Amino acid sequence: MKKLISYLSIRPLILLSPILLAQTEYKAPLTEYGHPDLQGIWNFASHTPVQRNERYGDREYLTPEEDQENRDRSVNAFEARAESHFDGVGGYNSFWYERATIGYDLRTSLITYPENGRIPNIVEGAFMQRGGVSEDYPSQRPVRFMGAGGIAKDGPEDRGLSERCIAGFNAGPPFMPSAYNNNVQIFQHRDHVVIMTEMVHDARIVPMNSEHQLNDDIRLWSGDSRGYWEDETLVIETRNFSDMTQSFLSSPYGNAHNKFLTERFTRVSESTIEYEFTIDDPSTFTDKITAMVPMTKVDGLIYEYSCHEGNYGMVNLLRGERRQEMDALGLD
């Protein structure tokens, strides 16, 4: 048994290994409608890298010594990033960051397929979009990048979607661990499941009816989700993504228009949901991507997320760029 500790949560988060979970043959409690009870607030922070370091090959687990070495390196990098000032006024300090201090079963990557634990090769001609906190990467509109940064500062349309408060960089679907706000709240009814994310405070309403699909001409930022139960597992299938978001947050390539996403939520202990997702996007990747992210139950509430990047930060960012342009021309 290991503990996962977040900067923003005082209560330790308990994670169990799959071997121990299998031995306990845990059965999730049922809702009044007879379905496994997944309700509550769950945290998906993790320090396990999305992709496996190539030096590990197909090895799925670290040794305890390797885990400690990687943990120390991660902590040092975290502190350096949190206290850095990049090229200007600086980013968040360490108070704002949510940090998982240990791994989950010593895994070498969140990606479980392909077997090398790495993002597959990119299809030739796939659209590329990216951004960065320290500098802009020239590209073209529309900006599909869901994180911070952008391609220029000529207008708000040049900035990443999270800077514009349109889509949170870890809000999913699918959910990917990030710097902070790694919390979701699940509500269940007989005919619907609602998944509310802390990041940007979006609520995804999932009808438990996979037979009736949305017309293919209708496209949404987060796609159209339909769910069903497969034994103890909640399965959610999502189609109809807009092409205005990148295909996979951890890759700057592609867009989500042809993406088919399958998510699986399985409660394996009182405090843990195994969250697994598979991305099938043949217009971007040469193979599917499957990842497993543990979600740990936490006490407390999810408070409203007020996205001020779009309200205040965007105005000041563009104003600062105009000021620099005027200074370069010698204008007051």
d(CA 239, CA 259): 7
Quickly state the pLDDT bin for 239 (edges 50, 70, 90). very high
Least trusted range by pLDDT, from 279-283, 291-295, 312-316: 312-316
User: What is residue 261's predicted lDDT score, i.e. its pLDDT?
Assistant: 98
Taking alpha carbons only, the member of 151, 146, 150 closest to residue 175 is: 146
d(CA 184, CA 143): 26
User: What is residue 2's predicted lDDT score, i.e. its pLDDT?
Assistant: 33
Q: How many residues does the chain have?
A: 332
Strand blocks (E) in the chain: 2-6, 9-15, 40-43, 111-113, 183-188, 192-197, 203-207, 224-230, 233-239, 260-269, 272-280, 289-298
In Å, what is the CA distance from 248 to each residue of 52, 254, 257? 16, 8, 12
125 φψ region: left (φ > 0), alpha (ψ -120 to 50), beta (else): left
Pick the residue with more confidence: 71 or 101? Answer: 71
pLDDT tens string 173-205: 999 998 888 999 999 999 999 999 998 888 999
Quickly state the pLDDT bin for 289 (edges 50, 70, 90). very high
Quickly state the pLDDT bin for 12 (edges 50, 70, 90). very low
Q: How confident is the model over 157-171, as a mean pLDDT?
A: 87
d(CA 114, CA 278): 11
User: Are the CB atoms for 208 and 227 separated by under 8 Å?
Assistant: yes
Taking alpha carbons only, the member of 269, 306, 329 closest to residue 38 is: 269
Beta bridge mates, 260: 280
**Which string of DSSP letters, residue by residue, matches 273-292?**
EEEEEEEE-TTTBSS-EEEE
Q: Is the pLDDT of residue 15 over 60?
A: no
User: Are the CB atoms for 318 and 153 separated by under 8 Å?
Assistant: yes
d(CA 179, CA 60): 24
Is 72 in a helix, a strand, or coil? helix
Q: Is the pLDDT of residue 150 over 80?
A: yes
pLDDT tens string 18-65: 444 444 589 999 999 999 999 999 999 988 889 999 999 999 999 888
d(CA 260, CA 225): 10
Is 139 in a helix, a strand, or coil? coil
Taking alpha carbons only, the member of 305, 259, 265, 302 closest to residue 279 is: 259
Pick the residue with more confidence: 115 or 252? Answer: 115
Q: Is the pLDDT of residue 1 over 50?
A: no
The whole-chain average pLDDT of the chain stands at 84
